[in-house]
Amino acid sequence: MAAEGGFPAIRSMGLTGLLVSFADRLSEPANRAALAYRAAVEGENWPGVEETSTSLASVFLRFDPLSMAPGDLRARLDALLASRDWFSAPLPSNRRRWRIPTVYGTDLAPQLGEAAEAAGISIGEAVSELSTTAVRVLTIGFAPGQPYLGELSPRWDIPRQVALTRRVPEGALVVAIRQLILFSAATPTGWRHIGQTAFRAFRPESADPFPLRPGDELLFPAIEPGELAAIRAADTHGDGGASVEVIA
């Protein structure tokens, strides 16, 4: 097992939670390790484990402490950790590639200029890079169905803003710390609003309420505001003009 710098580590999280962390910063191997390890934990079907989840580089387990002692659960988790090299685990199967039409800048996404400046490039260069770079769903979280996407090139390692933007709309594409988020609901945020889509990442009324899955690839091709308006007018299920294909 390729442990690095004290990882993986198991810590308690409240009375009913354990957290298995593969790193203390985002990395591609740690993200793959978390996704694969959670799938393995789910496959074990241990009694008393009520829920599992991943974040960028960790796996969370919620369990019933009256039916499974945390010490026993830790022992099982340790044994599973030792059973293979999780950092070299493959990505999940059945991954899809989504192309989601995006308006960059304009009054629909007013912080593109600011973000490009923070990244040290022109607005044109920023759009050219962001609209052709495939990013991967690293985790779903914060809000329902909402993807954290990465990693962008190192120039996009820009900090969050100090002050929050009071509200950005659903479908907003925002950037910080080499990641993009596609907001599933209107929200206040410290990330910079650089693009606007009509994609709904959470569809509570649908048979498939959470269309995106960790491992999926996303591309955000550039369109004009008029095209987005036309897409919105024609869209009945929230895809926002996106196309999707299975890649692996």
Partner 1 sequence: MRQMSVLRAGPAITVQDAGRPGMLVQGLSRGGAADPVALAEGAALLGQSRDLAALELAGFGGVFGFAESTRLALTGAPMRADIDGKALTWNASHQIEPGQILTVGGCEAGAYGYLHLAGGVATDPVLGSRSAHLVAGIGAPVRAGDNLPIGPDAGQGQNLVLDVEDRFSGGTARVVHSAQTALFPAAERERFEATEFTRDDRANRMGVRLTLAGKGFAADRQLSILSEVIVPGDIQVTGDGTPFVLLPECQTTGGYPRIGTVIPADLPMVAQAGPGARLRFRFVGYDEAIEAERRHRAMLRDLPRRPRPAIRDPREIQDLLSYRLIDGMISAYDT
Residues that bind partner 1 (CB under 8 A): 11-17, 19, 21, 23-26, 38, 50-58, 60, 62, 65-66, 70, 139-146, 148, 170, 184-185, 202, 204-205, 209-210
Which CB sits closer to partner 1, 11 or 232?
A: 11
Torsion angle defined by CA atoms of residues 117, 182, 165 and 230, in that order, rounded to the nearest 10 degrees: 90
Closest CB 132 distance from partner 1, rounded Å: 27
Closest CB 26 distance from partner 1, rounded Å: 7
Closest CB 16 distance from partner 1, rounded Å: 7
Torsion angle defined by CA atoms of residues 93, 99, 105 and 111, in that order, rounded to the nearest 10 degrees: -10
Closest CB 212 distance from partner 1, rounded Å: 10
Closest CB 146 distance from partner 1, rounded Å: 5
Closest CB 174 distance from partner 1, rounded Å: 14
Which CB sits closer to partner 1, 99 or 213?
A: 213
Which CB sits closer to partner 1, 105 or 238?
A: 238
Q: Give 158-163 contacts, CB < 8 A, sequence gap 24+.
A: 158/115, 158/118, 158/119, 158/192, 159/118, 160/190, 160/191, 161/190, 161/191, 161/192, 162/190, 163/190
Q: Give the CA distances from residue 104 to residues 123, 135, 174, 181, 217, in Å, rounded to whole numbers and listed in that order.
A: 9, 16, 11, 14, 19
Which CB sits closer to partner 1, 127 or 189?
A: 189
CB 16 within 8 Å of CB 1: no
Which CB sits closer to partner 1, 56 or 180?
A: 56
Closest by CA to 109, choosing from 163, 183, 177, 162, is 183
Which CB sits closer to partner 1, 38 or 193?
A: 38
